[in-house]
Protein backbone atom coordinates (compact mmCIF):
# COMPACT_ATOMS: atom_id res chain seq x y z
CA UNK A 1 0.00 0.00 0.00
CA UNK A 2 0.86 3.66 -0.10
CA UNK A 3 0.35 4.42 3.57
CA UNK A 4 2.65 4.75 6.53
CA UNK A 5 0.86 3.05 9.40
CA UNK A 6 0.96 3.45 13.15
CA UNK A 7 -1.20 2.32 16.01
CA UNK A 8 -3.34 5.21 17.24
CA UNK A 9 -2.99 5.02 21.01
CA UNK A 10 -0.50 3.92 23.64
CA UNK A 11 -0.85 4.29 27.39
CA UNK A 12 2.01 3.70 29.82
CA UNK A 13 2.85 4.46 33.44
CA UNK A 14 5.44 7.04 34.35
CA UNK A 15 8.88 5.45 34.56
CA UNK A 16 8.05 2.60 32.17
CA UNK A 17 9.41 2.29 28.65
CA UNK A 18 7.22 3.21 25.69
CA UNK A 19 7.53 1.60 22.29
CA UNK A 20 5.80 3.20 19.33
CA UNK A 21 5.72 1.20 16.12
CA UNK A 22 5.46 2.19 12.48
CA UNK A 23 5.45 0.40 9.15
CA UNK A 24 6.45 2.21 6.00
CA UNK A 25 6.23 1.38 2.33
CA UNK A 26 9.06 2.83 0.29
CA UNK A 27 12.15 0.65 0.48
CA UNK A 28 14.17 3.39 -1.21
CA UNK A 29 13.56 5.89 1.60
CA UNK A 30 16.96 7.00 2.84
CA UNK A 31 15.75 8.77 5.97
CA UNK A 32 12.96 7.92 8.36
CA UNK A 33 11.78 10.44 10.91
CA UNK A 34 10.02 10.72 14.21
CA UNK A 35 8.18 13.95 14.99
CA UNK A 36 6.50 14.90 18.26
CA UNK A 37 3.41 17.09 18.51
CA UNK A 38 2.32 18.45 21.86
CA UNK A 39 -1.24 19.75 22.28
CA UNK A 40 -1.79 22.97 20.37
CA UNK A 41 1.73 23.01 19.00
CA UNK A 42 3.50 22.28 15.74
CA UNK A 43 5.53 19.24 14.84
CA UNK A 44 8.92 19.06 16.48
CA UNK A 45 11.62 16.90 14.93
CA UNK A 46 12.53 14.33 17.54
CA UNK A 47 15.02 12.14 15.78
CA UNK A 48 15.73 10.42 12.50
CA UNK A 49 17.59 7.40 11.23
CA UNK A 50 19.49 6.84 8.03
CA UNK A 51 18.47 3.71 6.17
CA UNK A 52 21.92 2.10 6.38
CA UNK A 53 21.59 1.98 10.17
CA UNK A 54 19.76 -0.58 12.28
CA UNK A 55 19.70 1.43 15.45
CA UNK A 56 20.21 4.94 16.69
CA UNK A 57 20.29 6.01 20.31
CA UNK A 58 19.90 9.55 21.58
CA UNK A 59 19.63 9.86 25.36
CA UNK A 60 16.28 8.31 26.32
CA UNK A 61 15.32 7.65 22.70
CA UNK A 62 16.19 4.51 20.74
CA UNK A 63 15.17 4.08 17.12
CA UNK A 64 15.20 0.60 15.62
CA UNK A 65 14.93 -0.02 11.90
CA UNK A 66 14.11 -3.36 10.29
CA UNK A 67 14.50 -2.76 6.57
CA UNK A 68 13.43 -6.26 5.60
CA UNK A 69 10.05 -5.83 7.26
CA UNK A 70 9.93 -2.03 6.66
CA UNK A 71 9.35 -1.58 10.35
CA UNK A 72 10.45 1.36 12.45
CA UNK A 73 10.11 1.76 16.19
CA UNK A 74 10.73 4.47 18.73
CA UNK A 75 11.52 3.47 22.29
CA UNK A 76 11.35 6.06 25.06
CA UNK A 77 13.06 4.95 28.23
CA UNK A 78 11.87 6.15 31.65
CA UNK A 79 8.77 7.77 30.14
CA UNK A 80 7.73 11.01 31.83
CA UNK A 81 4.40 12.85 31.88
CA UNK A 82 6.04 15.49 29.68
CA UNK A 83 6.40 12.85 26.98
CA UNK A 84 2.61 12.77 26.54
CA UNK A 85 2.06 13.85 22.94
CA UNK A 86 1.29 12.54 19.48
CA UNK A 87 4.23 10.89 17.75
CA UNK A 88 4.40 10.75 13.96
CA UNK A 89 6.70 8.62 11.89
CA UNK A 90 7.46 9.74 8.36
CA UNK A 91 9.33 8.48 5.35
CA UNK A 92 10.88 10.64 2.68
CA UNK A 93 10.13 9.84 -0.95
CA UNK A 94 12.83 11.14 -3.23
CA UNK A 95 11.02 9.84 -6.30
CA UNK A 96 8.27 12.30 -5.39
CA UNK A 97 10.50 15.30 -4.99
CA UNK A 98 11.40 14.73 -1.38
CA UNK A 99 7.88 14.59 0.00
CA UNK A 100 7.39 13.40 3.55
CA UNK A 101 4.68 10.79 3.98
CA UNK A 102 3.35 10.74 7.53
CA UNK A 103 1.66 8.06 9.55
CA UNK A 104 -1.59 8.85 11.36
CA UNK A 105 0.23 9.53 14.61
CA UNK A 106 0.30 7.61 17.89
CA UNK A 107 -1.13 9.37 20.91
CA UNK A 108 1.03 8.54 23.92
CA UNK A 109 -0.61 8.95 27.29
CA UNK A 110 1.63 8.78 30.35
CA UNK A 111 -0.11 8.13 33.65
CA UNK A 112 1.53 9.13 36.93
CA UNK B 1 17.58 31.25 13.70
CA UNK B 2 13.96 31.95 14.58
CA UNK B 3 12.71 28.84 12.82
CA UNK B 4 9.75 28.77 10.45
CA UNK B 5 7.43 31.68 11.15
CA UNK B 6 3.72 31.56 10.43
CA UNK B 7 1.06 34.20 10.77
CA UNK B 8 -1.53 34.59 11.99
CA UNK B 9 -1.47 31.93 14.71
CA UNK B 10 -5.24 31.93 14.91
CA UNK B 11 -7.81 33.04 12.37
CA UNK B 12 -11.57 33.09 12.77
CA UNK B 13 -13.59 34.11 9.76
CA UNK B 14 -17.02 33.73 8.27
CA UNK B 15 -17.93 31.48 5.40
CA UNK B 16 -17.32 33.15 2.06
CA UNK B 17 -14.50 35.37 3.24
CA UNK B 18 -11.00 35.28 1.82
CA UNK B 19 -8.30 33.92 4.11
CA UNK B 20 -4.56 34.42 3.63
CA UNK B 21 -2.02 32.45 5.61
CA UNK B 22 1.62 33.49 5.63
CA UNK B 23 4.90 31.68 6.06
CA UNK B 24 8.53 32.70 6.34
CA UNK B 25 10.86 29.70 5.91
CA UNK B 26 14.19 29.25 7.62
CA UNK B 27 16.84 31.34 5.92
CA UNK B 28 18.83 29.29 3.42
CA UNK B 29 16.16 26.62 2.99
CA UNK B 30 15.07 26.15 -0.62
CA UNK B 31 12.05 23.89 -0.19
CA UNK B 32 8.75 24.94 1.36
CA UNK B 33 5.75 22.79 2.19
CA UNK B 34 2.16 23.56 3.16
CA UNK B 35 0.28 20.95 5.20
CA UNK B 36 -3.22 20.76 6.63
CA UNK B 37 -4.07 18.82 9.78
CA UNK B 38 -7.56 17.70 10.76
CA UNK B 39 -8.86 15.03 13.09
CA UNK B 40 -10.54 13.21 10.24
CA UNK B 41 -7.74 13.22 7.67
CA UNK B 42 -4.59 13.66 9.73
CA UNK B 43 -1.66 15.47 8.11
CA UNK B 44 -2.07 16.18 4.41
CA UNK B 45 0.52 17.74 2.14
CA UNK B 46 -1.19 20.45 0.10
CA UNK B 47 1.63 21.82 -2.04
CA UNK B 48 5.37 22.24 -2.02
CA UNK B 49 7.89 24.52 -3.68
CA UNK B 50 11.52 24.04 -4.63
CA UNK B 51 13.45 27.24 -5.29
CA UNK B 52 10.17 29.20 -5.24
CA UNK B 53 8.65 27.05 -8.00
CA UNK B 54 5.55 24.93 -7.23
CA UNK B 55 6.48 21.30 -7.81
CA UNK B 56 3.45 19.32 -6.71
CA UNK B 57 0.06 20.83 -5.95
CA UNK B 58 -1.88 17.58 -6.20
CA UNK B 59 -2.86 17.85 -2.56
CA UNK B 60 -4.64 21.18 -2.98
CA UNK B 61 -8.27 20.29 -2.33
CA UNK B 62 -9.90 22.47 -4.97
CA UNK B 63 -9.65 25.68 -6.93
CA UNK B 64 -10.57 27.74 -3.90
CA UNK B 65 -7.05 27.10 -2.62
CA UNK B 66 -4.01 28.80 -4.09
CA UNK B 67 -0.42 29.19 -2.96
CA UNK B 68 2.37 31.50 -4.02
CA UNK B 69 6.01 31.93 -3.23
CA UNK B 70 7.13 35.27 -4.68
CA UNK B 71 10.61 35.00 -3.16
CA UNK B 72 12.77 32.69 -1.09
CA UNK B 73 11.65 34.16 2.20
CA UNK B 74 7.88 34.33 1.89
CA UNK B 75 4.92 32.19 0.90
CA UNK B 76 1.16 32.55 1.13
CA UNK B 77 -1.71 30.11 1.12
CA UNK B 78 -5.01 31.67 0.16
CA UNK B 79 -8.52 30.28 0.45
CA UNK B 80 -11.21 32.14 -1.45
CA UNK B 81 -14.05 31.72 -0.66
CA UNK B 82 -13.59 29.92 2.63
CA UNK B 83 -15.99 27.22 3.83
CA UNK B 84 -16.55 25.65 7.27
CA UNK B 85 -14.92 22.41 6.09
CA UNK B 86 -11.67 24.31 5.60
CA UNK B 87 -11.37 24.64 9.38
CA UNK B 88 -8.07 23.00 10.30
CA UNK B 89 -4.55 23.71 11.44
CA UNK B 90 -2.33 24.71 8.53
CA UNK B 91 1.39 24.10 8.86
CA UNK B 92 4.25 25.41 6.84
CA UNK B 93 7.58 23.55 6.79
CA UNK B 94 10.89 24.23 5.13
CA UNK B 95 14.00 22.26 4.31
CA UNK B 96 17.16 22.24 2.31
CA UNK B 97 15.94 20.21 -0.63
CA UNK B 98 15.66 16.53 0.19
CA UNK B 99 16.71 17.03 3.77
CA UNK B 100 14.93 17.26 7.11
CA UNK B 101 11.77 19.36 7.22
CA UNK B 102 11.27 21.86 10.03
CA UNK B 103 7.75 22.89 10.89
CA UNK B 104 6.25 26.20 11.92
CA UNK B 105 3.84 26.52 14.84
CA UNK B 106 0.80 26.41 12.56
CA UNK B 107 -2.23 28.60 11.92
CA UNK B 108 -5.47 27.42 13.48
CA UNK B 109 -8.25 28.40 11.07
CA UNK B 110 -11.89 28.41 12.06
CA UNK B 111 -14.48 29.17 9.41
CA UNK B 112 -17.93 29.86 10.86
| pLDDT tens profile B8-35 | 999 999 999 999 999 999 999 999 999 9
Nearest Cα neighbor of A85 from A94, A74, A93 is A74
H or E segment to which residue A42 belongs: none
Residue to test with chain B: of A28, A95, A98, A101, most B Cβ within 10 A? A98
| pLDDT tens profile A5-52 | 999 999 999 999 999 999 998 777 778 999 999 988 889 999 999 988
Q: How confident is the model at residue A95 (pLDDT cuts 50, 70, 90)?
A: confident
Distance from the Cα of A8 to chain B's closest Cα (Å) equals 11
Task: Return the pLDDT at B18.
Answer: 97
Distance in angstroms (rounded) separating the CA atoms of residues B109 and B7: 11
Distance in angstroms (rounded) separating the CA atoms of residues B38 and B7: 19
Nearest by CB: A45 against B43, B102, B106: B102
Contact B60, B77 (CB under 8 A): no
Residues of B in contact with A97 (CB under 8 A): 48, 50, 55-56
Contact B98 A102 (CB under 8 A): no
Nearest Cα neighbor of B29 from B95, B98, B100 is B95
State how beta strands B5-7 and B53-56 pair: unpaired
Q: How many percent of chain A have pLDDT more than 90? A: 71
Cα of A33 vs its chain's centroid, Å: 6
Nearest Cα neighbor of B36 from B49, B20, B47, B52 is B47
Q: DSSP letters of A15-40?
A: TS-EEEEEE---TT--EEEEEEE-TT
Contact B90, B106 (CB under 8 A): yes
Q: Which residues pair with residue A87 across a beta bridge? A: A36, A106
Amino acid sequence: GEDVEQSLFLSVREGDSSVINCTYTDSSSTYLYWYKQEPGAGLQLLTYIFSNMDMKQDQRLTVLLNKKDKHLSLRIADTQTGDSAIYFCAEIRYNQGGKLIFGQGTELSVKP
Amino acid sequence: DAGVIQSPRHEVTEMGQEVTLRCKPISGHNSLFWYRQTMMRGLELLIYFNNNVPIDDSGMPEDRFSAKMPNASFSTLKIQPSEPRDSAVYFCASSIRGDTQYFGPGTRLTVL
